[in-house]
Amino acid sequence: MGGAITWVTPIAGLVGAFTGASLSPWLTSHLSWRRTRKEAFNQAISALRVAQVARHLPTGVHATYLGGDVAAAEAYSLRLRERSVDRYIDAMSEAKVALAALEPFYRVRGDLDSWEITEPDAERIMRELIRAR
């Protein structure tokens, strides 16, 4: 009985080493793919959410925040709206880029070719991404 264990142990070790060596590249590749996929989903969800938040422009900044000068408040509000629109357009563009980058893993339903994703479409896409993540 002792002789059987003597030769089975090295063979079992070799089989284990061979199996581990053959599965290791596949497992590493698979885990890397899953991590990249998850990061792409997280980036797309985050970028879409930022664009939706940027959609709502700040308005009506009270003059007391700017020292009480009504003319200064109006001028500031105008600059703020202009900056907010620029920020929204940039955020929408980044969201569309993030959604396009998701394509190797998941194809979003909807029109990504127009400059803006409408609020109802953004809400639907957000639900879809969270479900598919």
* Burial class, 70, CB count within 10 angstroms (exposed 0-12 / middle 13-18 / buried 19+): exposed
pTM of the model: 0.74
Q: What own/partner pairs with CB < 8 Å and gap ≥ 24 does 107-114 have?
A: 108/44
Look at 19-28, 37-46, 47-56, 106-115 and tell me which has the smallest mean pLDDT: 19-28
Mean pLDDT score, 3-24: 67
* Burial class, 89, CB count within 10 angstroms (exposed 0-12 / middle 13-18 / buried 19+): middle
Residues near 54 by beta carbon (within 8 Å), at least 6 away in sequence: 84, 87, 88, 91, 92
